Structure 1
Amino acid sequence: MNPEIYLIRAYGRDDGFRCIPWGIVSIASYLKKRGYKLLIADRKEGGYSLRRITREIRGRDIAYVGVSAMTCQSQDAAFLCGHLKKMNKNIILGGLHYSIYPDEGLKIGDYVFKGEAEQSLLGFLQNGPGAKIYEPRPLLSLDDIPLPDEELMKRLYVNKSNFTIMTSRGCPYACSFCLDRKYRPERIRYHSAPYVCDLIEMMNKSFGVTGVFIGDDVFTINKNRAIEICGEIRKRGLKVTIGCFTHSGIDDLELYEEMKASGFSGVSLGVESGCDEVLQAMNKHQTVAQIRKTIEVIKKSGLRINVMFMVGNILETEDSLKATLALARELCLNGWVSYAQPFAGTAFREDCPKYGRIINENPATYWNDRISFVPHGLSRRQLRYYRNKIAVSIKAPVR
């Protein structure tokens, strides 16, 4: 008989981006199709208290408990593992944080699975433990992951007006503040258009979801696929509003008009800075001129635009902050602004000692509204002043 597994997403402070734990949902769906019994719990959004988790584990013959965590959730993961150890449970650590810090995971658990873990965890369960740390084994076809069934989804919080889905894995860009290539694949793999629309249709009919946000790094990077999904949405008559991320330089009016006609209401664009030198240091593959052009094209399609800014990167100066504030005021769009955070596994982190000083050494508190890095020649007061001025310009929270 196959062992029963309990998968948990740890709790971390909410910075406003609410998303179900697709990592553990995908693993659970993949393993369930192959005959394994699974329970999933979300400490971040699902209201799963330690008492509730303990009660469920004690009421079943759970062979392994998996805990997934991003860096901001690592403190709760350590707390959970301490409790699970007292229950004599075999603990598996996964998620972004322990992919970067596997040795930290082994201090609080028994095994660490790095990166995409559907296939590596299946092999572990079929063959038994053969190591302490398991490397990623990315799926070649994402459609091998079944749609999550209602039994799994009913255990999670579902935001009906803004339900985030993932339709691809991988990113062609290498922004300095994002994970290094060794932690994430460059090659993009996609769910098929029918799969994507099956998921949207299921969430609409079974859970009443009326708004979907596609959380892929850049949904618009593959025009033909995006248009195919738009056509499938119209063919099925799906009545949902949809949003997604795009990137400066994707200036295809036909694509954006097709999206608008298919129920897309808007797109989010990472502007980041109003200074070309800072954008180049961030390896954003965009200029201020390209940002303006892309926004002009998107506006013609009728889609709303949400802009995202980031202050406090390397090469940041008061002049570059003034330029970013001026651009935010010029664009006159709604959006979000954050402080650059020196996460491990990023090129930005490697450059920090050369270009400034890290003033917050606790990665679990690398929050969007907390200053953790101060570039040379600037002060925390200056960063906070310009961050809040930009926030007012784009109608973002001032903190």
Structure 2
Amino acid sequence: MESEGITAKIVDMDWGGFSKEELVDMISKFDPDIIGITSFTSNYANAVDIAKAAKSHNPNIKIVFGGVHATFIHRDVLHTIPEVDIVVRYEGERAICEICDALDRGRKLENVKGISFRHDNRVFSTPLRHRIENLDSIPFPAFHLLEPSIEHYIGEGKEKGFPIITTRGCPFNCIFCSTAALHGRKYRTRSANNVLDEMEFVQDKYKINVISFADDNFTMKRNRVIELCRGIKERHLDFEWGCSARVDLLSKDLLEVMNSSGCKNIFFGIESASQRVLDTVKKGFSIEKAKEMVKLTEKMGIKTHCSFILGLPNETVESIDEMIRFVEETMPSGRVLPNVLEILPGTELWDKESEYFGNTPSIPAADIIRVQLELFYKFFEISSKGRELLTIEPPDIEIIGGSTAFAQTQM
């Protein structure tokens, strides 16, 4: 947006912990023409609250929703939330700039591809735009626009961490995940040099020393990972870093290369310890492979974090208990995350919910809570994590969620 002459600010409502009153105060001071709000399924209600607060303060502000949730229910958003004027569908880097230009010059929104909007109480959707093939063409995130400051975001302690996204797309078929639907099945990547340039930039500019590669499948292309790891060492980039990986896209020699360049954490989406459930949700690997890879990764000195989903199709009380035995056997030294299933728009599970759950009795809530508590207990029991228990704060379910961007369209 800056490269197009658009003045903008970024407000992370989750991280900053801003109240609606503080948001309105920021809107008053910046006086934006457009407010863009990212909406995930988990924060959609809060995103709507933000839109209502902004619109009640200034009815002339244009509210633009984007993100995975709004993408797949865009017509519903525009029919039911009058405060939302426009929805950007799928990727938004180019669309938001064209929206700003159209509104500033009084041009028709019909010419902006990949959006839906309301006009005369009717909802119109423009043709989709092509996905961005050359991810290197996207400028580095505008960290300096974060409110109240990038320093507030990364913290002032010894470890200063930041996420970097290096890929888009996923060729796999997990029925509960919306990544492939949002970004396509083609796995698109930034070049290793482009990623290394960003790492070098944040290290020099913000003294970052911990990087989290926030890709769904960081190790999809083995040779690219190796090139990136070699580049980290050749450029003398002193980082600890972590990533997410599938258990079937790692090997001992690849782990060695990753570890030698600073990889200290790997997040595995195990989802279920039942092979029947894994097959049902089309995860595409065996539970034995998952056990093998968690053990191997731990043996090599890399901390593993294991995520599970409670309540998937074909799940039973007995199968969720297998998650506890999985943790007891593999002993992951990182976080153990027992999440409750949330059915997301854009997924096969959303489209075929009755087919997958039609004849499956629901698991009693008491059993889900019991397994969650037992998995949390195992997490703290492994490696004597009492100190971590004392430092973890419970989530505040009243917090306003969503990332909000303000834009002024004068160019």
TM interval, short-chain normalised: 0.7 to 0.9
Give the letter for the 1:42 counterpart: D
* Alpha carbons 2:295, 2:330 under 8 Å: kept: no
Stretches of structure 2 lacking an aligned partner (at least 5 in a row): 111-116, 118-124, 382-388, 395-411
CA distance in 2, matches of 1:386, 1:337: 8
Deviations 1:29-79 (A, max 9, x none): xx2122222122111112444344434433445322212221222222222
* Alpha carbons 2:39, 2:69 under 8 Å: kept: yes
Deviations 1:187-207 (A, max 9, x none): 121122122122222222322
Matching of residue 146 in structure 1 with residue 118 in structure 2: no
| 1:392 aligned to which of 377, 381, 386 | 377
- More deviation in 77-86 or 324-333? 77-86
Q: How many angstroms does 1:393 deviate by?
A: 2.2
Q: How many angstroms does 1:136 deviate by?
A: 5.1
Relative to 1, partners in 2 of residues 1:136 and 1:182: Cα closer, same or farther, differing over 3 Å?
farther
| 2:108 aligned to which of 120, 129, 152 | 129
Q: How many angstroms does 1:258 deviate by?
A: 0.7
Structure 1 partner of 2:340: 339
* Alpha carbons 2:10, 2:146 under 8 Å: kept: no
* Alpha carbons 2:181, 2:347 under 8 Å: kept: no
Give the letter for the 2:135 counterpart: L
CA distance in 1, matches of 2:171, 2:249: 13
Structure 1 partner of 2:363: 378
Matching of residue 101 in structure 1 with residue 80 in structure 2: no
Could you say what secondary structure the match of 2:15 adopts? coil
* Alpha carbons 2:294, 2:332 under 8 Å: kept: no
Relative to 1, partners in 2 of residues 1:356 and 1:232: Cα closer, same or farther, differing over 3 Å?
same
Cα-Cα RMSD: 2.6
Could you say what secondary structure the match of 1:328 adopts? helix
CA distance in 2, matches of 1:205, 1:241: 15
TM-score by length of 2: 0.78
Deviations 1:209-259 (A, max 9, x none): 221111100111111111111111111111111010111212422211111
CA distance in 2, matches of 1:207, 1:180: 30
CA distance in 1, matches of 2:84, 2:290: 45
Matching of residue 349 in structure 1 with residue 319 in structure 2: no
| 2:44 aligned to which of 70, 74, 83 | 74
- More deviation in 251-260 or 171-180? 171-180
CA distance in 2, matches of 1:233, 1:312: 40
TM-score by length of 1: 0.80
* Alpha carbons 1:117, 1:137 under 8 Å: kept: no
Give the letter for the 1:70 counterpart: F
Matching of residue 46 in structure 1 with residue 39 in structure 2: no
CA distance in 2, matches of 1:326, 1:186: 34
Relative to 1, partners in 2 of residues 1:129 and 1:320: Cα closer, same or farther, differing over 3 Å?
same
Matching of residue 247 in structure 1 with residue 250 in structure 2: no
CA distance in 2, matches of 1:239, 1:182: 36
CA distance in 2, matches of 1:225, 1:324: 33
Matching of residue 213 in structure 1 with residue 202 in structure 2: no
* Alpha carbons 2:9, 2:146 under 8 Å: kept: no
Deviations 1:122-155 (A, max 9, x none): 3333443324245454211111121234532463
Q: How many angstroms does 1:278 deviate by?
A: 0.5
Q: How many angstroms does 1:90 deviate by?
A: 1.5
Give the letter for the 2:373 counterpart: N
Give the letter for the 1:341 counterpart: E
CA distance in 1, matches of 2:293, 2:255: 11
Give the letter for the 1:378 counterpart: I
- More deviation in 56-65 or 183-192? 56-65
Identity of matched residues, %: 23
Structure 2 partner of 1:27: none
CA distance in 2, matches of 1:73, 1:378: 25
Q: How many angstroms does 1:301 deviate by?
A: 3.5
CA distance in 2, matches of 1:121, 1:42: 18
* Alpha carbons 1:117, 1:136 under 8 Å: kept: no
Relative to 1, partners in 2 of residues 1:211 and 1:60: Cα closer, same or farther, differing over 3 Å?
closer
Q: How many angstroms does 1:313 deviate by?
A: 0.9
CA distance in 1, matches of 2:21, 2:320: 47
* Alpha carbons 1:74, 1:97 under 8 Å: kept: yes
* Greater RCO, 1 or 2 (C-alpha within 8 Å, sep 6+): 2
Residues paired across the two proteins, number:
353
Aligned pairs for 1:1-399 (under 5 A) are 31-60=1-30, 62-86=32-56, 87=58, 88-106=60-78, 107=81, 108-127=83-102, 128-131=107-110, 132=117, 133=125, 135=128, 137-149=130-142, 151-153=144-146, 155-156=149-150, 157-159=153-155, 160-179=159-178, 181-334=180-333, 335-354=336-355, 356=357, 376=361, 378-395=363-380
Could you say what secondary structure the match of 1:285 adopts? coil
Deviations 1:312-343 (A, max 9, x none): 11101122123222222111214221112222
Structure 2 partner of 1:22: none
